[in-house]
Amino acid sequence: MDTEGIRQVAEKLKSSTRVVVLTGAGISQESGVPTFRGADGLWQNFRAEDLATPEAFEKDPVLVWRWYDWRRSLIQPLKPNPGHYALADLEKRIEDFTLVTQNVDGLHKAAGSKHPIEMHGSLWRVRCMQCGTDFENREVPIDIPPRCETCGGLLRPAVVWFGEALDQEILREIYRCLERAETMLVVGTSGAVQPAASFGLVAKKAGAFVVEVNRSKTPQSAFFDVSIQGKAGELLPHLVEHMTQ
């Protein structure tokens, strides 16, 4: 474990009042969440990239909902890991704290994070295709296809699919936070998917001290102030612990 790196980052966090954290699939994998990409994403000979699209839903909403119901059934029993809890603890210690996640599993909220920005939506929210109502739904199994209680319209998962644009208001809020951050943690993300792959570089350009916590180096590692390799569930609790010393 990079004890010196952890100590350096802890000192930086102790003196920071504005902190942004970005999390990716890596932190959720440590709780047992499959990536749903590549081999992990194969379900009944369908790839995630074939099912998580507006076109697939329009063609066969029952098939897409069967896949999402399967995903929800896998994730429902899973629990946050120490990395999730450490970030919830860090939030309590920082005056201006923003947690941005690419994950849709809801584990940050389950760990106690108050207002995570779920930039790709949540598996536990649904949206009516007819009236636009967006609400939480934790039924597993869910009635397929699910219908809106208000208008009877078809419900869809409230997630961002391949080929869909991210919510522009959410993106503006993220960039606003990045541009004023003093310190940023980039946790468990490969740095391969835009626009999140550029968030650390945006914060760095704006003057932030940027730290990467990941199992292996990424294409952005060389541009950050500190890059620590290891599991988020092991490193982040040590980081918070060092802040109290």
Shared-domain flag, residues 73 and 175: no
Shared-domain flag, residues 185 and 230: yes
134-136 β-sheet, strand order: 134-136, 121-128, 155-159
Write down which residue in 159, 175, 206 finishes a domain: 159
Shared-domain flag, residues 112 and 145: no
Number of separate domains in the chain: 2
Q: 101 lies in which domain range? A: 3-33+79-120+166-243
- What is the domain-level CATH number for residue 234? 3.40.50.1220
Shared-domain flag, residues 133 and 13: no
Nearest to 19 by CA among 245, 241, 240, 242: 240
Query: Catalytic one among 115, 120, 238, 242?
Result: 120
Q: Active-site residue 108, yes or no?
A: no
Q: What amino acid is encoded at 22 in this protein?
A: L
The per-residue pLDDT string of the chain (245 residues; one tens digit each, 9 = 90 and over) reads 678 889 999 999 999 999 999 999 999 999 999 876 555 555 766 788 889 999 999 999 999 999 999 999 999 999 999 999 999 999 999 999 999 999 999 999 999 999 999 999 999 999 999 999 999 999 999 999 999 999 999 999 999 999 999 999 999 999 999 999 999 999 999 888 899 999 999 999 999 999 999 999 999 999 999 999 999 999 999 999 999 87
Shared-domain flag, residues 131 and 228: no
Shared-domain flag, residues 211 and 115: yes
Shared-domain flag, residues 177 and 220: yes
